[in-house]
Structure 1
């Protein structure tokens, strides 16, 4: 038997009521015709008119009542078929049903996955020893409150933050329910947002403080010192350039996040793009005493993407290699085709032979404002956002980046672009 919702019942009742209201008018009209025309004085006309009037008076009130009663029976039968186990299984969040002794009566699959063994009869105060969970269980079981909620942190195997709500089930059942709403991702995003604002504020405050200090000096002790004035103005210009680079990178990140799911629709000549990047950074490489070497596979190297964004990716990676790998004397740019993954890719590797990156830094190196060496990065006019921009662009291109490095042997950044 199909389930009947409240909306369905109301709709059905409305249709039936309108139908029988129309039937009432029809019956009343027929009765009037019989009475007025009397059909030649037929003996059966008047009794039939009376029957029609009585039918019009009683039938409309009886039929909708029977429909409503039938709907109530359907609803009752449908609810009887539902059990607490089925309802708990339909909930995606961890859900635990427990009794007045705070022992587990039933736990759904999500609860087993999140907290391990949750067999019936398990004591919840022994399973969840945090003070806030003990207080939540006590307040609900004791009847002080009908429902309550607390924040709970599960430490192992990984840290998870839950919003836990507890409430009684029905009236007189002496059963209660715990529902765990995972807040870990929300908390992580909030923490990232707070860290981002703090880092951006710090990065802007430092050059602003420097500029303010030099302005004060130029208006005071160095007012009539041409040499000091020239030196301070040069430093101030460098600091304003640093702020401008930071703002440009922040705007780039913002634009990329706004179109993160907009797939590029053009095709890019990767060979020509890489040649343009190498040519544009030739002065930087030359000033650092570096030689940029090429090792490109033969044939066409067209890939789907946005040329300006891919240019920004390779420019950023090659610029980092030139800045931080100067001691190696050379940078190698390699392009190769790969069929190692589920789909063919074109892999672009930019490798330097400098000091390399310690292994513990590699997983976090694409985070915003993360720096392996803060002083070296600032000395090289880095904003700490370059690799984060690279990651966002590659995500939009359904591509990825892999990083290999060994201390003393340089670092290699490989961009894996889909070939099709």
Structure 2
């Protein structure tokens, strides 16, 4: 993808209040750069841009999820696109709950609450009892939206939901994370002229934020053993004379390790866009996968409106699988979103609607098509799951499992 700066003139203009909040965040980031000797690793910059209390993209008050730029949102997720997603996912979660003999759910990054409400409602319809539904979300604004969304589905459902400020040491039940891993800060490395550098953030002459490279042994650069091994592998597999940008997923790996270590019985499902390692670090993907989302426009400038736009990277699922298994958890399955939903029975869920009622059936069918189509979300998005105390696999991974590609 092209990571050249996006022209602000082609994007909707933020309000004066939003720009003022962004300026406050930029001032804090500049202070952090100065304190760091004039340079911040990119993962630290990404963390500040997304999660600085009250000002970061996910910890501030900006609206994020929706269908159109006009509603103030930046992107649409599967639960927002169709209630069929939650209802189908609930079938797989129900089997995981029943097979593991557990009765608790936990969701990370619950968005507007539509997924939680849809899952709880669907499980109730399936006759599957859930004692509690815990949500872990850093955004106070999103917590309020989640509460209102869930309450709209019925007070009985809302009474089972609680919001956590800290993770329990042990958890028995089923964990869900939809589009969580892609929002974890990533490290950036750039190979230029055959030499690898850590890509971070510095200040231009006017104080503007900009990319800046440092040698791997320079002050402030912390190169992990895993990243050093990966860069050596890329040199061996990809023409060393080819300039190349690569992300690594230390935060996502640490998060996966924490969740799988916490899970004493049950399963953990993560749904996100990405690839296994061999596809992720492809010779033709020379500029990496980092991208930004603002008002339903995707672009490659992470310094445009800090705090007001999302910054993401595709998930490298091989590393996620490795760290999960290292905790002693079993790899329950890995497949495309389309195959997962098909196996879990999305066509049965859709068939509950009357095709003769075109006003309801056609929009629902079109949304399901977007969830399933290779040209939309069906192939780019993957589902990976880990388990403890579940023998065999689940129906959702019974056909088309791609674990062998990791």
Rg larger in 1 or in 2? 1
TM-score (norm 2): 0.20
**TM score, norm. by length of structure 1:** 0.20
Higher relative contact order (CA 8 A, sep 6+): 2
